[in-house]
Structures are given as C-alpha cells and as structure tokens.
Structure 1
Amino acid sequence: MFALSKILRRTQRLRLGARTALYSKDINLVERSIFTLESNSIVYDKCESLPRLYEISSMSNRALSSSAGTKSDEEDDDLEDGFSELESSKSGQDTTSDDSEDDEVAHAGKLSADEDDLVETEDSRKAVEKKPSELFNTIVSAAGLSVGSALDKWVEEGHEISRVEVSKAMLLLRRRRMYGRALQMSEWLEANKKIEMNERDYASRLDLIVKLRGIEKGEAYMEKIPKSFKGEVTYRTLLANFVAACNVKKSEQAFNRMKDLGFPLSGFTCDQMLLLYKRIDRKKIADVLLLMEKENIKPSLLTYSILIDVKGATNDINGMEQILETMKEEGVEPDFHTLAISARHYSGAGLKEKAEKVLKEMEGESLEPNRHAFKDLLSIYASLGKEDEVERIWKICESKPRFEESLAAIHAFGKLDRVKDAEEIFEKMMKMDKRASSNTYSVLLRVYVDHKMLSKGKDLVKRMAESGCRIDASTWDALIKLYVEAGEVEKADSLLNKASKQSHTKLMMNSFMYIMDEYSKRGDIHNTEKIFQKMREAGYTSRLRQFQALMQAYLNAKAPAYGMRDRMKADNIFPNKSLAAQLAQGDPFKKTAISDILD
C-alpha cells in the first residue's frame, strides 16, 4: 500500500511544502495532527478514531492540491475532473469510448446490490450459465401483461417458485437491465409471500427503486425496511447508488452513517469513495488512499482498476504502468476488465503495439475458453481500426452469440463504419429474442447517432415503441444527441422535457449537457440557465462542467455574469484555471485600461 500511495504522490506531483500538518478538532484530538505529510514519507499520529468523510474532504481542500498526469499544470486543470468520464465518455477525450461506460457499470455495479452480489447462493450463479431460467422466460415473454399477472398464471399452471429460481431470474433480468420487470417480480414475490424476505432481498429492492425512481424514492423505501434488516449490505447498496448519482453530500453522509453504526471500514466503501472522487474531484483520491493505508486496508482489484483508469485517462501512461507493476508485485493479478482499461488507454494514447500486446494477453493461448473477454476484444480492436481482428472474433461468436457479445459487435462494426453489418446483427438479435430490452435498441441507435442518420434513428425509436419496449434513459440520451448532432436543438429540448416528465426515468447527465452546450455556443443565456436549473431538479449536483458551459453562454452573448462567483461558492465549487479565466473574462467589474484612466 505504501508503494501505491508513493507512486500516486510522485506521479500526481502534489504541491506540498517541506512539511504540511493537517489538523482536526472534531475527533477528540484538539490541536493534534491526524497525520503529517512530508515530501517523501507519511507519519501518522496514533489515533483510535477514524476520520469522518467531511474531515477527509476538508483535508483535501486545505492541503492536497494535486495535478494528476504528466501534462503541464494548465493542461491538467483544463481536463475538468482529470479523467475520462466513464459515465459521460462521449464528451471526453478521444481516448475514451462509450464502452468504458458499460465497463465501469458492469465492474463496479456488481459490488453494490447489483447482479451477483445479491444472488443468494453460489449454486444459483453457476446455474445461470448451465440452463435457462423458466421463471425468467415467463417474465420476459409476458407481452401485454403485467409481470404479476404472468406470475399468477405461471403458479396456477403448477410451477414451483424456489429461492434458486428467483435468484437466477433476478440475475438475468439485471444483466439485461430489465430493472422494471425485476422490481415487479420482487414486489409480487413479497406480496404473495413466495419467499421469506432477507436483507439481500430488501437491498435488491432498494437498488431497483433508486435505479427506476430516483434517490428520494429509494430513501423513502429505506425508512420502511425493518430495522433488523438494515445491515451493512443495505447501507452499502445505498452508498453505491449515491455514488452512481455523483451525489457527494449524500455519499459522505452514508459513509459516516456506516461508521456510526459500527460497520467496519471496508475495501468496498473505500472503493466507492474512490469512484465518486474520480468522477467529481480527483484531488481527494489521495486522501482515500491515505485513509486506507492508515487503517491497513489492502487495495482491491477495483482499487487498482480505478487508479489505472485515472492515470490512463490523463495520458499519464508511465504512471498507469507503475500502478500495474505495483499491483502485480502485491500479488493482485489484473482481470480482463483491468487489462481492457489499460488496452483502451494505450489505444487512445496512440500506442497501438502496446494495446495489441495486452489484447493478445487477454486472448490467452486459446481464444475460445476466454469467451468472457470477447466483448472487450471486439470493442478495443474496433477502436484500433482492426477490421480483420473484429471479424475473426465475431466469427467465433456468430453461430451462437451471447447477448453482450452481440451488443459489442453492433457497436464495433458501427465504429468501423460498417453500419449494414451492425444492422444485420441487430436483426438476428430481434429474431432470437423478440422481447429484446431497450438496451438492444439503444446500441444500434448510438451507431445511427455517430453517423448522423437522423431518419433511421427516428424509425428505430418508432419501432421500439411499437414493440412495447419502454424507452429508458440510455435511449433518450442517444435520441437527444441525435437531434443535437443534426442541428435540431429545439427538438432535442422538447424531447428532454417529455422524458423528464416520465416518473420511471432519470435522464443521464449527458442528455442535459448536449443541449446546454449547444445553447451555450449560441450565447443563448435564457435556455442555458433553463437547462442548468433542470439538471438541479433532476437531482444532479452542480459541477465544474455545468458552470463552464454557463459562463461560456454569458461570454458568447457578451453579457456580464453578475454573481457567478457567489453561485459557485454556494454550491461549493472551486474554479480550475480554465473556469477562472472565464470568470475573469466575464467579470462585469473588471478593470480595463480606460477604467484605470477614468479612475
């Protein structure tokens, strides 16, 4: 762990003096330092109390001003959050792909109340791959019926509902992101007393409610959970969802609440805070690592993956490689996900040979046994422009493709400008699974977005609606971007309003930013402010990105931005160099040569 924090400090070039002491009066340590940072060492005072998250945050603001990466300080500041937004990768650098969003969701989501973590037994996990779930098929094929009605009929036909069968069906529904049907099944099972609810069942319900109805509904449900079932799994599920929503205040409150309840500080909670600060404020990553070191919490595979992604996304390839080396020295072998992250960043940095070397490592001696790597291989080979490799891998899958492989292939062929191939794969998926989820449509829709095929995009959404498939946040996001790319920002704005009124959908942050950026470019202050407010109403806390777009609108309109600094201060937003320059340029009270003469 010491080696890891040392690498982080060295590669981030923390701006520390010869000695910086950090103090807290809130944990029975009046005028004593919690820990002391020096140029090449860390010395901790002995302290039985664990620093709370707001204390960690204040330490960061006072003493840890970092600039990750090997670029100049100015360039680092201009990177906004200093890493590729995995959940909003399309607005980032070219080093980032849409695939990285899915990767983080898949990799980190399983650590909360998602997928495998909430499957009751190891046997039920293995059974998912061995044979299909009849319960899952019943739920998915319930055309025109509610899930409850379909399950009533299924039970009347004499089928038995077991815990293993329920776990299998829940896992498959989650993997296909059919969260609405999963929630209906959960509610039906409890209402009909088909299973005895345990903590994981409550945590699963909580997770689904937040995904579908938002944080406030989730918090309301949390209050209804019996006290005896509000354990660590339930609270970590809440924490993971706060992190997913990038809600710093609620995430830190949940972290502190878990401490107050006596739950031990775990690698899971620290990894969640690393994910949060990677998205919001990477300067605080060092604080979490120091806390882990102090509490002797060893970095997990996810910990390393997060740091590798942070380094790679800021084009600090040397730092990324050092973390990979440290990881191996500590006996933690990178999994396919971690290798895929490094391969993507090698590709984005133009290091194609290194990227291909990692991909070959992922393939192993024989490709077919490593089938779980196919999704990433298809995506990254496509980003490298390797058509032959994409075709080679898809040929192995094609006779009996898995769901995620098919989605990855659609995306890959889209990247290679082979739209017809992507469409053919989509149509095969439709024939195999007539009740395909909205995610299936969304992937092809994004291909149309990338190629500015507005007409085809409209037809696909119409077809999706006619199939009875609910339009989810991902689909709305792709459709809104499609209209923005086509220059129809007013239509995109109209769609945003329509989607916002659907109670079951929380729109992605990107969906707002596409439109806000376009209004900002036009110098349309009124509509830029309107979108800014809509984001607040949707539950997104203010970040640098929004204020940058807002300030640019005032600058483009050549209008004074009165009170902007106060607004940022109220939201606890501190400008980087790029935003500071915008604020100075738009300052209505700034001094000029003429004003100095007049004074």
Structure 2
Amino acid sequence: MLLHLVTSSSPLTTARPSTQRRPCASAAAGAVTIRCAASSSSTPSSSASEAAAAGQQVAKVHSYGTVDYERRAPLRWGTLYRRIAVGHGGRPVSRTLGSWDEGERRLDKWELCRIAKELRKFRRFNLALQVYDWMAERRDRFPLSSSDMAIQLDLIAKVHGVSHAEKYFEDLPDTMKDKRTYGSLLNVYAQAMMKEKTEDTFEKMRKKGFASDTLPCNVLMNFYVDVGEPDKVSAIIDGMKERNVSFDVCTYNIWIKSCAAKQDADEMERVFSQMIADESVIANWTTYTTLASMYIKLGNSEKAEECLKEAEKRTTGREKKCFHYLITLYSHLGKKEEVYRIWSWYKATFRTIHNLGYQEVLSALVRIGDIEGAELLYEEWASKSSSFDPKTMNILLARYAREGLITKGEQILNRFVEKGGNPKPNTWEILATAYLKDNKISEALSCMEKNDTEGADRLVSVLTSRGCVEDEEYKSLIDTYAFAGA
C-alpha cells in the first residue's frame, strides 16, 4: 500500500535540387505550430562520430521581420539568457534585464529578440513575454514592429489566455493591424479550436487582402485537419489556385495530412506527385513521415519503411522533432533495431537530451514490448535528469499497471518520490486503476489525496465507471471527499 507517499503532476521519389527554395513561413516569427521543417539532402551516418558532426551543423536563424539578424555579428547573449532561464535567484525578468542593462552592457533589440526566441523554443513562454513587456515599456529605445506585436500577441495567448490576446489586438493602433498581427490572432483561435472565430478572422483577412499569402491558408487547412474536417481542405486549395496563392512545402504537407486523415491513399499519392513536380518546393522530412504514417495505417509496411528512409536523408541536427517521429514510427512498424539505431544517432547529435526525448523512446520501447530495454532507459534517465517529470515515470508505470505488475509499479513510484519527484493526478489514476483491476479497493482509495481535488475527481470517475460508488465499503469515503471539496 502507498499510504506513505504524499503528493504536493505512388511512387516515392528522392528529392532533387531546386532552383528556388521557399522556407516555411511562420506567423509571428514562429508562433504557428504547423509541422514544418527545413529540408536537407544529407544522409544519416552509420557511425556515431559522423552523425555527431552532421548534427553540429549550425542552423540559420530566421528573421523576426524587423532586422536581418543573420547578418549581425554574433553577440554574447547566452550568459544573460541563462540568467533569465534559471531565474537568477528568483528575480523577475525585468530586474535581471535592468541590472544587466545598467551594470554590464547596454542591451540592444537583437539580443533581446534572440533571447525571447530561445525561451519560446523551450516553451518558456512566460519568461519570453516578460522580455517583450520590458521592451514595450521602453519603446523609445526598442520600437516594436507589427512582427514584434504578433509575437507578443501569441505569447499573451499562451500565458494569459485567448481573451487577453483579443484585448491586446483590439488595443493595437490600426496601422499595426496588418497581415502579421491578424495572422497571429488567426493562429491563436486555431490553436484554441475556436471554429467560428477562426473562420471569421480568416474571412476578415481575405476581405482586407491579407489572405493573399500562403500562411493564413495553411493555418486554416491545418485547423480543419485538427478538428476532424479534412474534407474542407480541398476547397481551400481550390481557393488558393483561383487567387494565385503560391504553395509552399507546408501547404503540401498539410494537404497530404488531410488525405491521410481521410484514408485516401490514391489522392495522397496524387498530391505527393504534384509536390515533386513543383519546382518551387522540396519535400522535407515532414512530408515523408506523414506518408509513412498513412502507409502504416493502411498496413503497407514496405512503403512506410521506404518513406522513413527518405525522411532520414532529410534529417539534420537542427530538428529534434524529426528524431521523435522516426523513433515513434519505427516502433509502430515493430522495428526494434531501427528504434535503437535512431536513438544512438539522436544521442550522438545532441549534447543534451531533454525529458521529451526520453519519453518518446521509452514509449517506443514499451510499444514494441521491450520492457527490459525500457527499464534500462528509465534508469539512465533517472540517473541523469535534474527535472523529474512524472510523464516519464508514468509511461513505465502504465505498462506495469496494464500487466498487473502492481509491486513493480509501487516500487518505481516510491523511488520516484524518494528522488524528489512529484506525482501528478493521472499518476494516482493509473495506480488506482491497477488496484481496481486486482480488486484491491482499499489500496485504490489510498491513492485519493483529500487535498488534491483534480486527482480525487479522476479517481471517483474511475470508481463510478466500474459501478463501485454504491459499495458501502468506501461510499462513506467518497461522500467525505465530496463534502470536503464542496
């Protein structure tokens, strides 16, 4: 029993050179979350050293739309970034920036935007927003363009919610309500799955002439795929053709994804053929992983593996997400040796492997039934990690629960807590479900923390689904919880 634990969470054609490359545009300089990646013709090396060398290729930094950052001499912004990222003694970002600006070196906009970009890259949205807020309070020194405001709008939505982002947009001067800020608002609505507002905003952009670019069309198409209406993508494609809106690699990737969502292999291969024939774009790793996903669903393992090999050729050391997709898709094919090969390449390419990387590989090993390998990987993570994310532990715990290995589940949870980990409500839900499966009612109830409303709600839901709520053995405990949480 765990009562001593206390919680405080078609043919495949290889890519050919093109006379023109159109990089994937990004709303608010990266606010949009459509899967896009730069293409490359480099092939994975069989040796770890060569893979590491390939992974160290320096990726260019895309412009924020205000300054040509790629031509600036590199500045020493890293020290300040680290101070902000680690909290520097718990001080607010504004104080850290102010101290640096006054005591060490006068800051310029390039450095601040670069720091904010890095913070956004690692999803430190609150910190990134504070950097932009600090600049906004000093507009005499840091004049903000509509691109900057588009980024700020996106960050406000992520940190404070859609309503605050809407208020920010409404308060913008009319001169700043251009295709960038409108595009950022469109993306905010799309990410929030707000259908009516997404469609209305796109229509406003169309009437104002802001939908003549590829990006808003891509956002709307991706939105329809995400909300389960892939049939509407074709109409947007037709509209783009009528208005002579050019396609980029993201357009084709989303179009292919919509075909996959409809499970229409013939149309998917037609779109892919059209993409290959379009000299203005080059298929990237996203194209081939999307194709592979479709072929896996259709049971065509041979074509799926061909696609994954093509995706590998377009993988560089810039995009960890590609490695995640390769590992996941190879595991769906049951290719254990390929999972380990990509994992070795991954570790040789990146100096630091974050929690998400371990989670992807751990899930893959569990999926293919390599529990021994998963346990070894978990121990590697636990010995190296300084951030005990319960999501990592939950992957193995859930497998133990499914297999009825309750003792192992208790052991891994106990060790996680001893190391300073903080289980989340779904951790207790996983364990409680395992106890219920083994008809251990008292142990299941021990997972209910009275001061953890969300966890208790989840557990009561599990108990209710199993028809246990009328059992006198623990009905009084549920009533007690309901009274305490009222």
Is the aligned partner of 1:347 residue 2:296?
Answer: yes
Q: Which amino acid aligns with 1:219?
A: E
Q: Which residue of structure 2 lines up, in the alignment, with residue 507 of structure 1?
A: none
Q: Which amino acid aligns with 2:240?
A: M
Q: Which amino acid aligns with 1:426?
A: W
Q: Which residue of structure 2 lines up, in the alignment, with residue 79 of structure 1?
A: none
Q: How far apart in 2 are the matches of 1:262 and 1:482?
A: 51
RMSD: 4.3
Instruction: Give the alignment partner of residue 234 of structure 2, picking from 271, 286, 305.
Output: 286
Task: Please list, as runs of the form range in 1=range in 2, the aligned pairs for 1:493-532 lying within 5 A after superposition.
Answer: 497=454
Q: Summarize the Cα distance change of 1:238–1:123 in structure 2 as closer, same or farther, 3 Å threshold.
A: same
Stretches of structure 1 lacking an aligned partner (at least 5 in a row)? 1-103, 500-510, 525-599
State the Cα distance separating 1:357 from its structure 2 match: 1.4
User: What's the secondary structure of 1:173's corresponding residue?
Assistant: helix
State the Cα distance separating 1:458 from its structure 2 match: 8.5
State the Cα distance separating 1:176 from its structure 2 match: 0.8
Q: Which residue of structure 2 lines up, in the alignment, with residue 302 of structure 1?
A: 250
Contact 2:62-2:69 within 8 A present in 1 as well: no
Q: Which amino acid aligns with 2:178?
A: G
Q: How far apart in 1 are the matches of 2:294 and 2:433?
A: 26
Q: Which residue of structure 2 lines up, in the alignment, with residue 160 of structure 1?
A: 106
Is the aligned partner of 1:362 residue 2:307?
Answer: no
Instruction: Give the alignment partner of residue 105 of structure 1, picking from 33, 47, 52.
Output: 33
User: What's the secondary structure of 1:107's corresponding residue?
Assistant: coil
State the Cα distance separating 1:258 from its structure 2 match: 1.8
Q: How far apart in 2 are the matches of 1:270 and 1:221?
A: 23
User: What's the secondary structure of 1:451's corresponding residue?
Assistant: helix
Contact 1:236-1:269 within 8 A present in 2 as well: yes
State the Cα distance separating 1:521 from its structure 2 match: 8.2
Is the aligned partner of 1:319 residue 2:267?
Answer: yes
Q: Which residue of structure 2 lines up, in the alignment, with residue 546 of structure 1?
A: none
Q: How far apart in 1 are the matches of 2:217 and 2:340?
A: 40
Q: How far apart in 1 are the matches of 2:186 and 2:364?
A: 35
Higher deviation after alignment, 478-487 or 255-264: 478-487
Q: Which residue of structure 2 lines up, in the alignment, with residue 99 of structure 1?
A: none
**Deviations for 1:256-303, whole angstroms, at most 9, x for unmatched residues?**
222343434322222122112223323322322232232222333222
Question: When the two structures are aligned, how many residues end up with a matched partner?
Answer: 388
Q: How far apart in 2 are the matches of 1:192 and 1:522?
A: 61
Q: Which residue of structure 1 lines up, in the alignment, with residue 206 of structure 2?
A: 259
State the Cα distance separating 1:247 from its structure 2 match: 0.7
Is the aligned partner of 1:188 residue 2:143?
Answer: no
Q: Which residue of structure 1 lines up, in the alignment, with residue 57 of structure 2?
A: none
Q: Which residue of structure 2 lines up, in the alignment, with residue 240 of structure 1?
A: 187
Q: Which amino acid aligns with 1:302?
A: C
Is the aligned partner of 1:228 residue 2:156?
Answer: no
State the Cα distance separating 1:250 from its structure 2 match: 0.6
Q: How far apart in 1 are the matches of 2:72 and 2:257?
A: 30
Task: Please list, as runs of the form range in 1=range in 2, the aligned pairs for 1:547-586 lying within 5 A after superposition.
Answer: none
**Overall identity of the aligned pairs, in %:** 22
Instruction: Give the alignment partner of residue 148 of structure 1, picking from 94, 110, 115.
Output: 94
Contact 1:414-1:422 within 8 A present in 2 as well: no
Task: Please list, as runs of the form range in 1=range in 2, the aligned pairs for 1:355-434 lying within 5 A after superposition.
Answer: 355-364=304-313, 373-399=322-348, 401-402=350-351, 407-417=356-366, 418-427=373-382, 430=385
Q: Summarize the Cα distance change of 1:318–1:427 in structure 2 as closer, same or farther, 3 Å threshold.
A: same
Q: How far apart in 2 are the matches of 1:391 and 1:423?
A: 14
Contact 2:358-2:381 within 8 A present in 1 as well: no
Contact 2:116-2:128 within 8 A present in 1 as well: yes
Q: Which residue of structure 2 lines up, in the alignment, with residue 135 of structure 1?
A: 80
**Deviations for 1:521-567, whole angstroms, at most 9, x for unmatched residues?**
8699xxxxxxxxxxxxxxxxxxxxxxxxxxxxxxxxxxxxxxxxxxx
Contact 2:289-2:308 within 8 A present in 1 as well: yes
State the Cα distance separating 1:429 from its structure 2 match: 5.7
Q: Which residue of structure 2 lines up, in the alignment, with residue 274 of structure 1?
A: 221
Q: Summarize the Cα distance change of 1:184–1:253 in structure 2 as closer, same or farther, 3 Å threshold.
A: same
Q: How far apart in 1 are the matches of 2:127 and 2:65?
A: 17
Q: Which has the higher contact order (CA 8 A, sep 6+)?
A: 2
Contact 2:327-2:364 within 8 A present in 1 as well: no
Q: Summarize the Cα distance change of 1:360–1:151 in structure 2 as closer, same or farther, 3 Å threshold.
A: same
State the Cα distance separating 1:225 from its structure 2 match: 2.1
Contact 1:119-1:125 within 8 A present in 2 as well: no
Instruction: Give the alignment partner of residue 334 of structure 1, picking from 283, 286, 294.
Output: 283
State the Cα distance separating 1:251 from its structure 2 match: 0.7
Q: How far apart in 2 are the matches of 1:460 and 1:177?
A: 25
Q: Which amino acid aligns with 2:331?
A: A
Contact 2:355-2:392 within 8 A present in 1 as well: no
Higher deviation after alignment, 445-454 or 187-196: 445-454
